[in-house]
Structure 1
C-alpha cells in the first residue's frame, strides 16, 4: 500500500499518481506557488511541483526589455543573445518600435537607438548593427 507524499495517508484510490518519484493522491498534487490542484499536468524542477504558468514564470525565457516572462504565443524580436517582446524592442530616445532589417545602435545594456536619433545626436559612441529576425 502506497503512502501519499502530500497528506501522508494511505492511498486506497483506484489510481496512484507518481510525481518526483513519490506516490500521491490526485487531490494532493498542487502547485507549490499558487496551490492550484494539478490532476492532469504538472511541471517539476528542483523538487518543486508547479503549474504551467508558475513554471514559466520561474524558469521561462524573460524579455530583456521589461523582464516579464515570454509566453509561447508572444511575438518576439531577437537581438544578439537577447529576446524582446515586439513592443519592448524600441528606440530608447523616441520609443519608436524597431523593425526587422532596420539599422540600430546599441547603448550599454539592453537599450537601442534608431538610426534617426543616432544621426541627430552626433558625438555619442554607439555600436551599430542591422537587426535581422
Structure 2
C-alpha cells in the first residue's frame, strides 16, 4: 500500500511516509501537520497542549486556547479580560462578578444588592449617599441580568 505524500499545513514541506509511520503527524482542520508545526494563527506560538480551535481569521489555521478565548468571548468593562463563564450585565455593559465594584471604595457590589450609576460609574448605596450628595438621587437599580 502506498501513502500519498502531501505538504504540512504549518511548514509546507512534504510529509514523508516515515513521519507518518513514526506518528509525527496529526490531522487537523482537514490538513496534515507535523506535530511540532501546529502554531496559533494569532500569537504564532506552537500549540503543544493539544487544545486548538478553528480560527475566525483563517479557517485552515488553528488558534490556541488563550487566543480563542480572547477573540471569541466578550471583554469585561472592569478589567478588559474575556468573560468566560458567568458575567453580570448592567446598563448593557458586561462585568465579571468580581469586577462589579463601587467606584469609590472598590468593594464588590453584591448581585442581590442595589447600586447607583452616574456617568457610567457604579456606586454602592453607602458610598453614593456619603460622597455623591450633590447629584439628584436616581432610583436604586438592580443588575439587569446574569450570564
TM-score range, shorter chain: 0.7 to 0.9
Which residue pairs with 1:42 in the alignment?
52
Query: Which piece of structure 1 moves more, 115-124 or 92-101?
Result: 115-124
Structure 1 residue 65: deviation in Å? 0.6
Matched, 1:8 2:12: yes
- Are 1:57 and 1:69, in contact at CA under 8 Å, matched by a contact in 2? yes
Equivalent residue for 1:28, pick from 21, 24, 37 = 37
* Alpha carbons of structure 1 residues 62 and 126: separation in structure 2 relative to 1, 3 Å: farther
CA RMSD of superposed structures (Å): 2.7
Which residue pairs with 2:110 in the alignment?
99
Matched, 1:116 2:126: yes
Structure 1 residue 117: deviation in Å? 2.3
Structure 1 residue 105: deviation in Å? 1.1
* Alpha carbons of structure 1 residues 65 and 125: separation in structure 2 relative to 1, 3 Å: farther
Secondary structure of the residue aligned to 1:106 is: strand
* Alpha carbons of structure 1 residues 129 and 27: separation in structure 2 relative to 1, 3 Å: same
The unaligned stretches of length 5 or more in structure 2 are none
Question: Which structure has the greater CA radius of gyration?
Answer: 2
Which residue pairs with 1:87 in the alignment?
98
Q: If the length of structure 1 is used for normalisation, what is the TM-score?
A: 0.75
The unaligned stretches of length 5 or more in structure 1 are none
CA deviation map 1:59-108 (0-9, x unaligned)? 32221111122344xx6433243332233211112222211221211122
